[in-house]
Chains A and B, each alone.
Chain A
Amino acid sequence: MSDHIVRAYDEDLRVLTYRIGEMGGVAEHLVADAVEALVAGNNEQAQAVIEGDKRIDHIHEEIEEKAILLIAKRQPMALDLREIIAALRISHDLERVGDLAKNIAKRALAIEGALQPKRLVLGVQHMVEITLEQLKAVLDAYANHDDAAAIIVRKRDEEVDAMYTSLFRELLTYMMEDPRNITLCTHLLFCAKNLERIGDHATNVAETVHYIITGHKFSGDRARGDETIAALSDVTPGEK
């Protein structure tokens, strides 16, 4: 796309996309660090994640202000309008990712001291890998305006959901085996759920990227892989 006649407009838009990229980078780090702190029982690291979320909130506010000002000043149309609306949406999604990472870090602090059989956290560890891949892929798709890559991310969210469902079953089994696991497993279950939600936010971003490039929304509902409600009735017959 060629440049605007008013050069300051291009600069404004560039700053906006740059800040989104920055925010995405911070969000990725927070998610990775939160799970690392959880696995290692590292309180300092968990505390750093909680602090780090403030930076995300700060960038989020800044992007929102810039976007509102841009709309007021330039009355954007077509691609420019989509780009600015997208920045607002993506910024909102990333802000939520930061909150979810913070929540994992808080749980890492809460379960500190609890006996931690390593096998219990393996699932969460595995899940964060694919969630981070999704997050990275979608931020690249945004930076490169790559619709094909965004479509792949959206499709792949099924894997995250499926992994969450299986982790849910697994943790439920541990809890039934030994009630002393319940506290720990409940925290881990919430951590897994948070990662699943982060995956959903990556999907939202993918849909926004598709909107920037094509001007259209994705048609049809995305296949949902979260089957924990069904899993629950498998394990506890008679209850819904």
Chain B
Amino acid sequence: MNDILEAAAVTETGYDPSIKMSGRDVCVFYGDKQALFDVNLDITTNQVTALIGPSGCGKSTFLRCLNRMNDTISICRVTGNISLDGEDIYDPSIDVVELRARVGMVFQKPNPFPKSIFENVAYGPRIHGLARDKTDLEEIVANSLERAGLFAEVKDRLDEPGTGLSGGQQQRLCIARAIAVNPEVILMDEPCSALDPIATAKVEELIDELREKFTIVIVTHSMQQAARVSQRTAFFHLGILVEEGPTDHIFTNPVDRRTQDYITGRFG
């Protein structure tokens, strides 16, 4: 509790480098219906933050606020303040395309473009002008695939369509695509729910490696996955952030009764 208060104090006076992103009094409305109520949550730099909670609790809604994916839904309205490195991401001067390059996203279902493996990864760096020439681009693609733990498996068939890969490989391809533009934060919305246990383990291993360079926020329905991959966990229920803290605490000794009921499988 103390460090949360301290962190809050620092962000009010200025920018605290240990907090990558920060939500203050975040409310989200879909038309008349309010989906999130005054959420205050800090996303710690180079850590994995897991958002858990029953379906419809608002965790994915909150995740999508972090790179303004909710802008694409016309009836959706966001109030409060969300900052990246202390900078308000809902400020009119913010370039949303640039924001989404800094805050990348990986979705529940692997969604490679209907193009070659190479093109899937090369697309982002190309449109953002990150590569000086062809060799540079090839290097970025190889490097991203390598970091996504996929390079060895696909290096001889980069021209083949991305959609021809297995589900687990496709998801790692999407992760490679996300990291190719050198984001600072990666948002993952149930990245393993369509994968088998082996592919899941590979993605989890990858998440653990990626947090050295990136800050990761993951929405997951698997308590075990949240416990395994994250350092901090936030529990949402009915649009309210019920409890947030070190993952080890949340899963062995949660403070709130609702958290306890949910993670132990007692929610009616």
Contact = CB atoms under 8 A, between A and B. Distances in A.
Interface of A, helix, strand, loop or mixed by DSSP: loop
Interface string B132-169: 00000000000000000000000000000000000000
Interface in B217-268: 223-224, 227, 251-254, 259-261, 263-268
B253 A78 contact: yes
A79 B261 CA distance: 9
Determine the interface band of chain B, counting residues with CB < 8 A from chain A.
10 to 19
Interface stretch (A4-12, A38-46, A223-231): A4-12
Nearest to A2: B266
A168 B217 CA distance: 62
Contacts, number: 44
A80 interface: yes
How many interface residues does chain A have, given as a range? 10 to 19
A77 B227 CA distance: 10
B264 A80 contact: yes
A29 B33 CA distance: 64
A75 interface: yes
Interface string A1-40: 1111110010000000000000000000000000000000
B268 A78 contact: no
A4 B268 CA distance: 8
A139 B254 CA distance: 26
A217 to B, nearest CB: 11
B251 A78 contact: yes
A215 B263 contact: no
Contacts of A78: 251-254, 259-260, 263-264
B-side binding surface: helix, strand, loop or mixed? helix
A103 to B, nearest CB: 36
B223 A2 contact: no
B265 A4 contact: yes
A116 B22 CA distance: 78
B139 to A, nearest CB: 42
Contacts of A76: 264
A79 B265 contact: no
Contacts of A4: 264-266
A76 B268 CA distance: 17
A74 B251 CA distance: 14
Contact of A5 (B227, B260, B268): B268
A5 B264 CA distance: 9
A81 to B, nearest CB: 6
Interface string B46-87: 000000000000000000000000000000000000000000
A2 B265 CA distance: 10
B252 A3 contact: no
A240 interface: no
A2 B261 contact: yes
Contacts of A9: 265
B224 A75 contact: yes
B260 A2 contact: no
Contacts of A118: none
A55 B175 CA distance: 56
Nearest to A211: B253
Nearest to B261: A2
A119 interface: no
B191 to A, nearest CB: 20
B252 A1 contact: no
A2 B251 contact: no
A82 interface: yes
18 contacts: A2-B261, A2-B266, A2-B268, A4-B265, A4-B266, A5-B266, A5-B268, A6-B265, A75-B223, A77-B223, A77-B251, A77-B265, A78-B259, A78-B263, A81-B251, A81-B252, A214-B253, A215-B252
Interface of A: 1-6, 9, 74-82, 214-216
3 closest A-B pairs by beta carbon, nearest first, are A215-B253, A77-B263, A80-B264
Given A77-B264, A80-B264, 6 more contacts: A4-B265, A4-B266, A77-B227, A77-B263, A81-B251, A81-B252
Interface of B: 223-224, 227, 251-254, 259-261, 263-268
